[in-house]
A and B are shown apart, each in its own frame.
Chain A
Amino acid sequence: MDSKGSACSNPNPNPTFGPSKLMLAFRFLRALSIVHRTTPASSPTCRGRRIERAAYASMAYSAGTSRAWSRAVLRRLHHRARRRAVAPRRLSTTAGNRAEALRRLVPGGAGMDYCTLLEETADYTKCLSMQVELMQGIVDSASSNGR
């Protein structure tokens, strides 16, 4: 079941713009609602993981397929839907291995040259920060309304 995968049916109304906050919010909220609907309340950890996957999926979909990292994320998501996925390990940055560490962090970074890697890192960082901002906003409003 790939409940997060249904988000790709919507065309991006702003193809020329960079990452779009609006589309990101829309996709993520929809995915969030799907997660809340489909996961049983008895497995909170499972839901957390699903939410995280939903976050990455909505990020990748709103970024479009023109980006190498978004393609890699979607590829990874679809593959993991079939078999049990393992969380990516992240090793520490060694002094002389910064490029390697960067490649590990950025999805799809293994197979590109350094120049492209930097470009993808910039775009990935932008989208990731937008996603974090969105999620933080949701949590904040939720907590501020805490009853």
Chain B
Amino acid sequence: MQHGSGEVRGSMATSASAQMALHDDHGSQQIQNPGLHDDFFDQMLSGLPSAWPELGNPKSPWDASAAQKLFRIDLTGKPPDESQPEAATEGLRYASYDEATMLASRLPQSQGSGGSSPTGEAMMLQLNNRHILPVVVPLQAAVGGGVGESGLLPLPLTLGSGGAADPRIIVETPRDEMDGPYKSPDQNGGEELYSGLGGSIRAAQAATGQHFHHPQNHGGAAAPAGVGQGPAASASSGGGAPQQKQKVRARRGQATDPHSIAERLRRERIAERMKALQELVPNANKTDKASMLDEIIDYLKFLQLQVKVLSMSRLGGAAAVAPLVADISTEGAGARAGGDGAAVGNNDSLTATEHRVAKMMEEDMGSAMQYLQGKGLCLMPISLASAISSAACRPSAGGLVSAPPPPATSAAAAAESPSSSPSASALTVQSAAAADTTAPKR
């Protein structure tokens, strides 16, 4: 609560909704001096642009009677009921959103000032004298063009003192985290005068110390920009600094300092990374972040354990590889790899090697493996080989394949025998780096 002289309050437009002046719940508590309201109301409205009387249009709920409800004017100097929680103003916010847009469309362009389509600005109504009660006037000024978004345009309205013949409505909306300087708008009558600021927010901000929140849209950005440039008549210089922020406007309940924005960005990035992780891990029922993290950790541990176990199971390498060896005879005259010339010459030798290896395998697995490795070859299952060969750029089929020389690709092409069963054939893969005809490279 600001000083006792007057409080500036109002409802802040949320990101999505316009701030509506109409608020039934709000109204009853606001009306304190209906009679006086009329006087002020007339005074205020008299100076308003011609379009504004349209507000009384029954089409729009925002009629004069309703507007009066918002004017918590207490000329007696008694501060308005501070107990009016923000919730009430919140309700204001969510009231008829469409009406605000209707009003916005009606506002004349004459209101236009430097501020370009300051949407999302809260309107503040401020009486020049110290007994200013915050009033929320949802007006979406069509400044600088039609504004399709919801939002309120703070129209600085000077009433009474200050000699301002320029009627402007300054609606000031309190904020939760408004710090001290913001909460005390400049109540001086003269300070509400802003020349050439018909519907500009600058006036409101300068006068009221920029209490309003803007919905998180760029529309609000223009207004603060304009406000910053506005006449620095207001003593609320402290409020000027954050108002010049041209970036995203925070919603009500969020600070606009760069720290929180960066914090928000960081949180969003973390959230999307968590989502990506969630897709990798099986059985991902995203209940909450903590359990999700536990799932991820457990899955990682499980994978690492699997690697360990699988590597242990390959003990006795020869024994493990033996099953891979099948009767090479079935491969027989399988298609040879379409290698280059160097490779072609190898194919015959490879075939011979195959037979040799097959024979050796039947006798002694270990020596067969050693023979193979001495030649720079190894065994691989056909299913794997087929996968590799199909993925490789030079698919080959049948027999032994000698990999192409490694200038371009290092992938080894695996031979497969289409006729033989997938699991029954032995394949030898010649590593790309291995020389084709030269001695074993290893």
Instruction: Classify chain B: how many residues form its interface, as a range.
Output: 35 or more
B316 surroundings in chain A (CB, below 8 A): 41, 44
Contact across chains for A22 and B388 when beta carbons are under 8 A apart: yes
Chain B residue numbers with a CB within 8 Å of A72 are none
Q: Which of A96-143 contact B (CB under 8 A)?
A: 98-99, 101-102, 105-106, 114-115, 118-119, 121-122, 124-126, 128-129, 131-132, 134-139, 141-143
Q: A52 contacts which chain B residues (CB < 8 A)? A: 307-308, 311-312
A128–B281 CA distance with the chains assembled, in angstroms: 12
Q: How many A-B residue pairs have CB under 8 A?
A: 180
Question: A119 vs B88: C-alpha distance in the bound complex, in angstroms?
Answer: 44
- The answer to the question of A33 belonging to the interface, with a C-beta cut-off of 8 Å to chain B, is yes
> Which residue of A29, A34, A105, A142 contacts B320 across the interface (Cβ within 8 Å)?
A142
Asked whether, in the complex, the Cβ of B410 is within 8 Å of the Cβ of A136, the reply is: no
A145 touches B300 (CB 8 A): no
Size class of the A contact interface (CB-based, 8 Å): 35 or more
With A106-B300, A139-B313, A142-B323 as known contacts, state yes or no: A10 contacts B406, CB within 8 Å: yes
Tell me the nearest residue of chain B to A55, going by C-beta.
B307
Query: What is the bound-complex CA distance between A122 and B312, given in angstroms?
Result: 26
Interface flags for B255-296 (1: CB within 8 Å of A; 0: not) read: 000000000001001100110110011000000001001101
Chain B residues with Cβ below 8 Å from A106 are 300
CA distance A115 to B263 in the complex (A): 12
Given the known A-B contacts A35-B317, A142-B381, are A101 and B311 also in contact in the complex, defined by CB atoms under 8 Å?
no
Closest residue on chain B to residue A39 by CB atoms: B317
Contact of A22 among B297, B311, B392 (CB under 8 A): B392
Is B59 in the interface zone, CB < 8 Å from A? no
CB distance from A135 to the nearest CB of B (A): 4
> B20-28, B197-205, B366-374: which one contacts chain A?
B366-374
In angstroms, how far is the closest chain A Cβ from the Cβ of B387?
7
Is the C-beta of A65 less than 8 angstroms from some C-beta in chain B? no
Selecting from B223-231, B351-359, B428-436, the interface stretch reads: B428-436
Q: Which residues of B contact A128 (CB under 8 A)?
A: 300, 303-304, 307
B residues 422-441 with Cβ under 8 Å of A? 423-424, 429, 431-433
Complex CA–CA separation, A41 to B364 (angstroms): 14
Residues on B with C-beta less than 8 A from A146 are 323
Q: Which of A47, A51, A105, A118 contacts B277 (CB 8 A)?
A: A118
Say whether chain B's binding surface is mostly helix, strand, loop, or mixed: helix
* Chain A hits for B412, CB < 8 A: 26, 30
Residues of B within 8 A of A49 (CB): 311
Whether B307 lies near A47 (C-beta < 8 A) is no
A136 neighbours in B (Cβ, 8 Å)? 306, 310
B22 to chain A, nearest CB (A): 44
Tell me whether A13 and B408 are in contact (CB under 8 A): yes
The answer to whether A125 touches B383 (Cβ under 8 A) is no
Given B301, B318, B383, B424, which contacts A41 in the complex, CB threshold below 8 Å?
Answer: B318
Q: Which of A23, A45, A129, A135 contacts B411 (CB 8 A)?
A: A23
Decide: A48 near B324, CB < 8 A? Known: A119-B273, A141-B423. Answer: no
Contact of A34 with B301 at beta-carbon distance under 8 Å, contacts A56-B307, A138-B381 already known: no
Interface membership of A84, Cβ < 8 A? no
A25, B411: Cα distance in complex, Å: 9
Choose one: B301, B378, B424; the contact of A29 (CB below 8 Å).
B378
Task: Give CA–CA (A142, B315) in the complex, Å.
Answer: 12
User: B342 at interface (Cβ–Cβ under 8 A)?
Assistant: no
Q: Which residue of A lies closest to B431 (CB)?
A: A30
Rounded to whole angstroms, the CA-CA distance of A93 and B423 in the bound complex is 42
Q: Across the interface, do A122 and B297 meet the contact criterion of CB distance under 8 Å?
A: no
Q: Across the interface, which residues of A come within 8 angstroms of B323, CB to CB?
A: 141-147
A46 to B317, CA, bound (A): 12
Q: Which one of B274, B303, B314, B408 lies within 8 Å of A118 (CB-CB)?
A: B274
Tell me which of A9, A121, A144 has the highest count of chain B C-beta atoms within 10 A of its own C-beta: A121
From A35, A36, A141, A143, contact of B384 by CB (8 A): A141
Mask, B368-411, CB within 8 Å of A = 1, is 01100100011111111001100111000000000000101111
Partner pick for B311 among A9, A55, A105, CB 8 A cutoff: A55
Bound state CA distance, A48 and B131, in angstroms?
85
Distance in angstroms from A92 CB to nearest chain B CB is: 10
In the bound assembly, the distance between CA atoms of A145 and B266 in angstroms comes to 52
Decide: B381 and A125 in contact? CB cutoff 8 A.
Answer: no
Residues of A within 8 Å of B318, CB to CB, are 36, 41
Chain B residues within an 8 Å CB radius of A15: none
Given A48-B311, A135-B307, A136-B310, are A126 and B391 neighbors across the interface (CB < 8 Å)? no
- On chain B, the residues within 8 Å of A25 by CB distance are 384, 387-388
Closest CB in chain A relative to B320 CB, distance in Å = 5
B231-251: which have CB < 8 Å to A?
none
Do the beta carbons of B424 and A145 come within 8 Å of each other? yes
Given pairs A54-B311, A145-B323, 12 additional interface contacts (CB within 8 A): A29-B378, A29-B429, A30-B378, A33-B379, A37-B442, A41-B317, A52-B307, A52-B311, A93-B294, A93-B298, A128-B300, A136-B310
Cβ contacts A to B, 5 pairs, < 8 Å:
A41-B317, A55-B307, A141-B423, A142-B323, A144-B423
A: residues with CB less than 8 A from B are 9-11, 13, 21-23, 25-26, 29-30, 32-37, 39, 41, 44-45, 47-49, 51-52, 54-56, 90, 93, 98-99, 101-102, 105-106, 114-115, 118-119, 121-122, 124-126, 128-129, 131-132, 134-139, 141-147
